Amino acid sequence: MNKYLDIAPEVREALAAGRPVVALESTIISHGMPYPKNVETALLVEQTIRDNGAVPATIAVIGGRLKAGLSREEIEHLGKAGRAVAKASRRDLPALVARGADGATTVATTMIIAHLAGIKIFATGGIGGVHRGAETTMDISADLEELAQTPVMVVCAGAKSILDLGLTLEYLETKGVPVIGYGTEELPAFYTRKSGFGVDYRVDSPAELAAMFAAQRGLDYKGGMLVTNPIPEEYAMDKAVIDAAIEQALTEAKEQGIHGKETTPFLLAKVVELTGGESLESNIQLVLNNARLAARTAAELAK
């Protein structure tokens, strides 16, 4: 086992016995939602994973240790500290480990730590991608590069249209990352079920997802797989409302010169601010929906 890694006892026992485990990220807790909803949601997501037959492993860096499985107190700490906690992507882990610091893991680092721990499936809300205007800013999330090189299945609700979804799909195609639609031929756009872009393959059951992932592993590919699961119809937002909020958020980010790792958290917080509680509730529901699918798929993979 990696010398910087701590696996929680319950997670370690499940992995040793070949029982299903699902990884969860922590940037969504610290940077993705306001306190205390973020903590409530993180705990509810863990419970949902359990209710669907798997063991949750929420991932973060605490005091320089890579953690697979957090205590309630650690989740509370990350949620309360919010954006004061470092948002940790791939390039940040060496500094956090060397300095004994805390970090909230993005999709990229959650994949890295899940893989070190031997966890194959990870559920979240949305992934990072190619930002609009990336042809000049070169702002492309390290999440995409991680999907290209780390063998973990990521279950999400697509990506928000704060990103350039077309370029994000092109990038994933170049990197050989299969993009699966769960029960859909169309890439979901997080708050809405449709984006206007097609996925590579439609899959309709956890067993079929598990079979595709097993085939990818059997082929000795080094990369991961992206499963996009549309938000349940009853929680989907009005496209015009969410598009207007996203345009407004992008304008303000530009005016304020927001760049680098601040961009995504800034846009996410702005959209929540502009759309009030409605987008937050949608966000929570889609994460729960992804947790259910990931847990059932982990159970199939464990068979």
- The catalytic site residues sit at 25, 160
Q: Which does 26 bind (CB under 5 to 8 A by kind): Mn ion, ligand PSU, none?
A: none
d(CA 67, CA 6): 5
Task: Please state the closest distance from residue 263 (CB atom) to Mn ion, in A.
Answer: 6
The least CB distance from residue 174 to ligand PSU, in Å, is 18
List C-alpha distances in Å: 77 to 6, 99, 124, 287.
18, 19, 20, 21
Which residue of the chain is nearest ligand PSU when measured via CB? 126
In angstroms, rounded to a whole number, what is the distance separating the alpha carbons of residues 252 and 91? 27
CA atoms within 13 A on the CB side of 234: 2
We find the least distance from the C-beta atom of residue 145 to Mn ion, in angstroms, to be 11
Which tokens hold the place of 148? 């290209």
Contact 159, 189 (CB under 8 A): yes
- C-alpha 252/C-alpha 73 separation (Å) is 35
- Residue 228, contacted partner among Mn ion, ligand PSU, none, CB below 5-8 A by kind: none
Q: Which residues bind ligand PSU (CB under 6 A)?
A: 25, 27-28, 32, 89, 106-107, 125-128, 141-143, 160, 190, 261, 264, 268
Residue closer to ligand PSU (CB basis): 48 or 106? 106
CB of 46 to ligand PSU, least distance (A): 17
Instruction: Give me the residues that bind Mn ion (CB under 5 A), please.
Output: 139
Got the DSSP string for 63-114?
TTEEEES--HHHHHHHHHHGGGSEEE-GGGHHHHHHHT--EEE-HHHHHHHH
Question: Which one of Mn ion, ligand PSU, none interacts with residue 126, CB within 5 to 8 A by kind?
Answer: ligand PSU
Residue 160 touches which of Mn ion, ligand PSU, none (Cβ within 5-8 Å per kind)? ligand PSU
